[in-house]
Amino acid sequence: MTFYEGIITITIVSVATMLTRFLPFLIFKSGKLQSGYMNYVGRALPPAVFAMLVIYCFKGMSFAAPSGFLSQLIATAVVVILHLAFRRTLLSVAAGTAVYLLLVNLFFV
C-alpha cells in the first residue's frame, strides 16, 4: 500500500467510525419524544450484550483439567461479588479481567 492509499484508507475508516458514533445523536435528539420501542431497546440492550459476552466467554470452557475452567469460574465469582457489593460495572469487569489474567499467567500455566 502506498502512502496515499494509506491516507485514503485511514480517512475513510475515520469518517465511517465517526458517522456510526454521531449519527444516533443526530437522529434521536434529546428534546424529541421517543417511541416506546426505542425506550425498550435502550433498557434491554445493555444487559443483553453482557449476557452474550458471558455466553461467549464460557462456550469454549473445558472441564478436562482444572486449568481449563477454574480460572474462569474464580474470575466470574469476583465479578459477581464485586458487582453485588458496589454496583460499579467498570470496577467489576476490570477486576475480573485482572484476576483472570493473573490466574492464567501465574497459577494455571
Q: What is the pLDDT of residue 26?
A: 84
When pLDDT is cut at 50, 70 and 90, the band that residue 6 belongs to is very high
**92 and 83 in contact (C-beta within 8 Å)?**
yes
Q: Is residue 72 part of a domain?
A: yes
pLDDT reading at 34 higher than 80: no
Is 68 a member of any domain?
yes
Residue 77: name the closest of 106, 65, 51, 85 by CA: 85
**Cα distances (angstroms) measured from residue 59 to each of 80, 88, 107, 109:** 19, 25, 22, 20
Supply the range of the domain harboring residue 69: 49-107
- Looking at residues 63-70, what average pLDDT do you find? 86
54 domain residue, yes or no: yes
Instruction: For CA atoms 44, 45, 51, 55, give the dihedral sign.
Output: positive
Does the residue 42 lie in any domain?
no
pLDDT at 24 over 90: no
Residue 103 has pLDDT above 90, yes or no: yes
CA distances (Å), 47 to each of 35, 41, 51, 78, 89, in order?
A: 20, 10, 6, 18, 11
pLDDT at 31: 61
The answer to whether residue 89 sits within a structural domain is yes
Is residue 93 one of the residues assigned to a domain? yes
pLDDT at 53 over 70: yes
What's residue 83's pLDDT?
94
Instruction: Confirm whether 19 is domain-assigned.
Output: no
pLDDT value of position 88: 94
Asked if residues 77 and 39 have their Cβ atoms less than 8 Å apart, the reply is no
The helix/strand/coil state of 30 is coil
Domain count, the chain: 1
Within a domain: residue 12?
Answer: no
Give the angle subtended at the CA of 95 by the CAs of 92 and 97, to the nearest 5°. 105
pLDDT for position 33: 60
